[in-house]
Structure 1
């Protein structure tokens, strides 16, 4: 499938039974301001653009949410356990964006989208959720141009950052997706 815009990304996810099942499972937690983000979507897009017939295995499925009323990291682990009960084959990772700013040593985030906008790479700063009517919503704070161009570049918050450079080296995305270009 040729993906060229946000609508086509949403359609590709909607037509992927496994991805929709993962999204439905995450929704059962009824977390405030929740999204599945990062590699969950990036991997789907790059697999499609590379014409892969089999899914690339994900190291984790990132579920983020925003709850400034409970910053206890322990609760995130309880949410992960709930998701593991639903499907233990999925490597769940649940993070409250209301506390994640402390890792990056920046001002507190005001929402999950704000936290997502401060992910290291533009192609990774993307999330999907659905509303009460079951309609999918895609969020790409830095747009989808880099994602669709298979280009790794830093978000404004990580320009020139050693964290960005270390991540790019460690992730080695072009080993899996040879058309990926690193800026």
Structure 2
């Protein structure tokens, strides 16, 4: 019998099995983030951990939050948002990293060695993760969870790792894919999208 395709309800149920994801989203309104999203590893690694029968939060080193504030591109402004998030989520006892997607183009090339375009939203930052199956985000908005999965959920649940044509930096992709594959051996790495 074929396995049914994953849907938004399953994804939401799975990521909320991670107590930290749940706690962050439960406190979302108190974070007061402009165009804010809980993103990346804390979501897709939870999915992969569940598939392996591990605890949902196993090995997740931090929880990433994107927001977008084009009015303040300063390091100090981002630090103030980080401090506010730390005050709210500090009792959770896990590292939470907050990044303003409006300023990534100012530091990305120096840090990673590749140019990066100026973005117009936090979603555009999610779109540019190195691996399309990891382009996922969630937030609490208007009394419900809103998901952003621009490449669909099937490749995430299947564990398919391909380079993202929006950020096709093959050395960075290979490093990241090898790191993931060392932790979840069943992942499939393919350099051709």
TM band (smaller chain): 0.7 to 0.9
Distance 2:169 2:82 in 1: 33
1:94 aligns with 2:98: yes
CA distance in 1, matches of 2:153, 2:72: 32
**Given the alignment, which residue of 138, 155, 170 partners 2:147?**
138
Question: Which 5+ residue runs of structure 2 have no aligned equivalent?
Answer: 110-114
Once the two structures are TM-superposed, the CA of residue 43 in structure 1 deviates from its matched residue by 1.1
Distance in 2, Cα, partners of 1:113 & 1:130: 15
Q: Partners of 1:106 and 1:160 in 2: how far apart?
A: 11
CA distance in 2, matches of 1:68, 1:115: 13
Residues 108 and 9 from structure 1, CA distance in 2 versus in 1: closer, same or farther, beyond 3 angstroms? same
Aligned residues: 179
Tell me how large the CA RMSD over aligned residues is: 2.2
The yes-or-no answer on 1:111 pairing with 2:115 is: no
Match of 2:75? 73
Indicate yes or no: 2:172 matched with 1:163.
Answer: yes
Residue pairs, 1:1-183, within 5 angstroms = 4-53=6-55, 55-85=57-87, 86-87=89-90, 89-102=93-106, 103=108, 105-133=115-143, 135-159=144-168, 161-169=170-178, 172-183=179-190
Most deviating of 4-13 and 41-50: 4-13
Counterpart CA distance in 1 for 2:127 and 2:80 is: 26
The separation in 2 between residues aligned to 1:74 and 1:127, in whole angstroms, is 25
* Cα separation, partners in 2 of 1:124 and 1:73, compared to 1, 3 Å: farther
SS at match of 2:134: coil
* Deviations 1:119-152, CA, capped at 9 Å, x for gaps: 111122110001131x111101222222110121
Alpha-carbon distance in 2 for matches of 1:17, 1:163: 30
Change (3 A) 1:175 1:107: closer
